[in-house]
Amino acid sequence: MLTMAALFAAVSVFAQSSKDRLSELEQATVEEDTKPAKEEKEYRLFDVNVVSEVGFGWQFVKEDQFAQGLKGNKSSEFYFNLLELSFNPTKWTSVTLGANLDWTDYAVGPSNYFHGVPDGDSRKMDLTPVASGMNYTSSKLHVFSIVVPAALDLHVGSISLRAGAEANFRLNSYANYAYRDGNNDLVTVKDSTPTGLDKFALDYFASLNLGFIGLYVKYFPQSISPAIPMHCFTAGIVLNTR
């Protein structure tokens, strides 16, 4: 009888001890769960963005060069970013390298148009004066390029300032002009004469962004083409998803 009482007492002590230990474990788990989580880093050292930027702008030249006939209000650029790699040494700075697709149109008028003219045994693209009696309406030089921008980006909160240079690899270019015939129908002519544009061009750019929208400017230190011996500025709007 005494043995049974002792056994019962031992079991009771063991059960109480187990219960207390279980309560301690549960309390420790609750305390661990309620500890403030360690703050995550606000930036990653390396990052990759796909289609992170779209821009649209207009071309401008110095006032004394408008005699050549470049129409800034109808000369435009559209581009979008395919890929961007960024190195972020701090949460305020980034160094980026990207790849963009770029479509640029240079419009001229009203007294000149893009047209192939004889050049020895071949032809070259040039700005040609509009002939008397020609009901001319417009002419454009179209350029498609792959652009590789490299930039330094400074950002605080939703505000960022970016500046750098771009390598332009011109893959395709052609010119066309439009006029109205004797029946007042609009006729557009694509000129197959080689445009003479360099296959490579360099420009410098800067942008100021507030959140997802911003403004950008570019400057081309090289002439647009042998047909347009002018240095061109671009200014426009940029949308981004960074």
**pLDDT for 148:** 98
**108-112, 215-219, 224-228: range with lowest mean pLDDT:** 224-228
User: Mean per-residue pLDDT for 95-121?
Assistant: 86
How far apart, in whole angstroms, are the C-alpha atoms of residue 177 and residue 138?
6
Query: Is 225's pLDDT higher than 80?
Result: no
How far apart, in whole angstroms, are the C-alpha atoms of residue 72 and residue 84?
30
Domain positions in the chain: 1-38, 41-240
Q: Pick 79 or 5 by higher pLDDT.
A: 79
Q: Could you say which DSSP state residue 65 is in?
A: G
Task: Please enumerate, as own/partner, the contacts of 125-130 that have beta carbons within 8 Å and a separation of 24 or more.
Answer: 125/175, 125/191, 125/193, 125/194, 125/195, 125/196, 125/225, 125/226, 125/227, 126/226, 126/227, 127/68, 127/69, 127/227, 127/228
Answer for the pair 93, 152: CB distance below 8 angstroms, yes or no.
yes
Count CB-CB contacts under 10 A for residue 54. Answer: 15
Q: Pick 137 or 121 by higher pLDDT.
A: 137
- Report the chain's mean pLDDT, rounded to a whole number: 80
CA 216 to each of CA 22, 79, 129, 162, 175: distance values in angstroms, whole numbers, following the listed order: 64, 12, 34, 9, 27
The tokens describing 145, both together, are: 């390029």
Q: Pick 135 or 168 by higher pLDDT.
A: 168
User: Mean per-residue pLDDT for 10-16?
Assistant: 47
154-183 confidence digits (pLDDT tens)? 999 899 999 999 999 999 988 888 888 888
Q: Sorting pLDDT into bands at 50, 70 and 90, what band is 40?
A: very low
**13-17, 23-27, 189-193, 227-231: range with lowest mean pLDDT:** 13-17
**pLDDT for 67:** 47
How far apart, in whole angstroms, are the C-alpha atoms of residue 196 and residue 157?
45
Query: Is 13's pLDDT higher than 60?
Result: no
User: Mean per-residue pLDDT for 7-29?
Assistant: 51
Q: In sequence order, what DSSP letters do the residues of 143-195 get, joined into one string?
A: EEEEEEEEEEEEEETTEEEEEEEEEEEEEEEEEEEEEE-TT--EEEEEE-S--
CA 178 to each of CA 54, 140, 189, 190: distance values in angstroms, whole numbers, following the listed order: 29, 9, 6, 9
User: Mean per-residue pLDDT for 75-92?
Assistant: 94
How far apart, in whole angstroms, are the C-alpha atoms of residue 138 and residue 125?
16
User: Mean per-residue pLDDT for 84-107?
Assistant: 94
How far apart, in whole angstroms, are the C-alpha atoms of residue 127 and residue 133?
18
Query: Is 96's pLDDT higher than 90?
Result: yes
User: Mean per-residue pLDDT for 98-102?
Assistant: 97
Q: Sorting pLDDT into bands at 50, 70 and 90, what band is 72?
A: low
Q: Sorting pLDDT into bands at 50, 70 and 90, what band is 1?
A: very low
**pLDDT for 132:** 77
How far apart, in whole angstroms, are the C-alpha atoms of residue 25 and residue 44?
36
